[in-house]
Structure 1
């Protein structure tokens, strides 16, 4: 399946939604882990998908294994070092995709070697064997990157509801309002759980109960894809076709890696 999946068309009456959280970490950076988000999801019994960078998996081995072990969570890839793959060489592309999966396999192998999981009998409780989903860093891709991901047997996943949680100027109420007003059956919501998602835990505490009241069920991305027909775009974009390239140009002009401040200034 080629292209970037933005949402899923569901049969009438199904109100499924996918919460996704990026776990980014680049060279020279040590990102965190937002335990408040994960604890809230577990307390509410909410399923979610985490797109983890290979470097993040390596620098957070215990947290990575805990996420992999949780039956309510799914792990996708988010590049090795959070590089813009639209400018990647063949070697860099192969590393960003292949070494991220290798980091996941190592984390899973360590987890499975522990006594607490060696007696697993229920197939549903066995952690996923490999990564089948990929989200491009910065939400940017091109035909070459899409082809490389597809050749590796992964589906390219984007989103259609942007929380904007890295923006320090957006309050918890503002994020919750964005989620509640833009949520729809088959939606893919993007947020962060690497400590860079400001106010996201507080926002989810507001939004999750209200979405449940509206009849929504939270599923992993693979479950959402299995329930309907993926909505596929030919390329990647943030909110509208072409905006990823415009933001990239603005970032270079402003010499800023903060896409949210760039978006806010437009």
Structure 2
């Protein structure tokens, strides 16, 4: 088996998930990318399951990974895609992005919300079983962890893990060959190991809560800016001109990313500059790699994500109202209507 420029990292083996899902089931379907808001099916309580035990992080001063310093000559970057879903919506799945990554054999990390994983069960299972990809924690319902505290804060982190474990545990039921699904489950990590804060916003309490959950917080040093509609060349220049070895690049694939058309040009230009693609975990596992750490979360400069605090407080009111309405209609603990 060939070895690429990561010391000791083998090139991706054939995708075993293709034995579990037909090619047509893996490909994108029209309309999947749409975000549906305010519909009853958007309400979904978290799974009621006991989390499997895992050690917490012991650091006294928890820091955030922005990027990774790599040894000279190693030109790797991590493409990351957020799959977030808020309480009153069913977010999209931009399958054209995933199809492109698979076609080009590009490794990537997906930071998935717990509710998103449950409302897109097949897609979540396809991502977590694909050896090109890793799935990481992006909270349960994309609430701003700078403004919620206590149990609500911890539930946002841990309910995403519950969703991940639920999705993983059901692989045997979802695969066309149950015995293959069970075998695939053994290849999927039992836990998620990485975490990304909604809105890119955090504070000391939320950083500590993430570490206590045994997770490593990861931001980015290059944002594509893809939630804002723009011409493809704008995203290309924003990403390519700011990328350096060890960069962690932010995109969205939940129906809110507008850089799908630009992605092929971004990948082509980065490859022309000598870059190869890795998951975030790949970057961290390169021999001699050193994570670039910060004390807090930000997009491009300190404090810039604090601007979401007011909006997030308004959203919390709307979220609580929607949840109470749905609970009142169905009864406590009942799941979404189908």
- What TM-score, normalized by structure 2, do the two folds share? 0.71
In the alignment, the residues of structure 2 paired with residue 252 and residue 152 of structure 1 have an alpha-carbon distance, to the nearest angstrom, of 23
Q: Secondary structure at the match of 1:182?
A: coil
Check if 1:235 corresponds to 2:296. Answer: yes
Corresponding residue to 1:203 among 246, 254, 262: 262
1:153 to 199, 210, 214: 214
Bigger relative CO (Cα 8 Å, ≥ 6 apart): 1
Whole-angstrom CA distance in 2 between matches of 1:251 and 1:149: 23
**Paired residue for 1:221, among 280, 293, 299?**
280
CA contact (8 A) 2:82 2:253 kept: yes
- State the superposition RMSD in angstroms: 2.0
1:118 equivalenced with 2:182 (yes/no):
yes
Shift of 1:110: 1.0
Q: 1:100 aligns with which of 160, 165, 169?
A: 160
Q: Residue 106 of structure 2 contacts residue 132 of structure 2 at CA under 8 Å; is this kept in 1?
A: yes
Measured after TM superposition, the shift of residue 213 of structure 1 is 1.8
- Residue correspondence of structure 1 range 70-81 to structure 2 within 5 A: 70-81=130-141
Unaligned runs of 5+ in 2: 1-58, 317-338
Q: Matches of residues 29-68 of structure 1 in structure 2 within 5 Å?
A: 29-68=89-128
Query: Does the 8 Å contact 1:71/1:127 carry over to 2?
Result: no
CA distance in 2: counterparts of 1:252 and 1:119, whole angstroms: 41
Cα 1:256–1:150 shift into 2, 3 Å: closer
Q: CA deviation at 1:184?
A: 0.7
| Helix, strand or coil at the partner of 1:130 | coil
Q: Within 1, Cα distance between the matches of 2:142 and 2:162? A: 16
Aligned to 1:264: none
Larger Rg: 2
Tell me whether 57-66 or 1-10 shows the greater mean CA deviation: 1-10
Q: In structure 2, what is the equivalent of residue 3 of structure 1?
A: 63
The answer on whether the counterparts of 1:6 and 1:188 sit within 8 Å (CA) in structure 2 is yes
Q: Which residue of 1 aligns with 2:225?
A: 164
**Aligned-pair distance for 1:249?**
5.7
Q: What's the CA shift for 1:243?
A: 1.2
Please name the residue that 1:178 is paired with: 238
> Of residues 66, 74, 82 in structure 1, which corresponds to 2:142?
82
In structure 2, the residue corresponding to 1:6 is in which secondary structure? Answer: strand
Give, in whole Å, the separation in 2 of the partners of 1:67 and 1:160.
Answer: 24
Confirm whether residue 129 of structure 1 aligns to residue 190 of structure 2: yes
Q: How many angstroms does 1:132 deviate by?
A: 0.6
For the structure 1 residues 119 and 130, does the alpha-carbon distance in structure 2 shift closer, same or farther, using more than 3 Å as the test?
closer
Give the secondary-structure state (helix, strand or coil) at the position aligned to 1:230: strand
C-alpha contact (below 8 Å) 2:144/2:309 kept by paired residues: no
1:263 alignment partner in structure 2 = none
Q: Structure 1: 5+ residue runs without aligned partners?
A: 258-266
User: Residue 134 and residue 119 in structure 1: after superposition, are their counterparts in 2 closer, same or farther (change >3 A)?
Assistant: closer
Q: 2:87 is matched with which residue: 27, 43, 67? A: 27
Contact persistence 1:134–1:157 (CA under 8 A): yes
Inter-partner Cα distance in structure 1 for 2:269 and 2:130: 24
Which deviates more, 129-138 or 104-113? 104-113
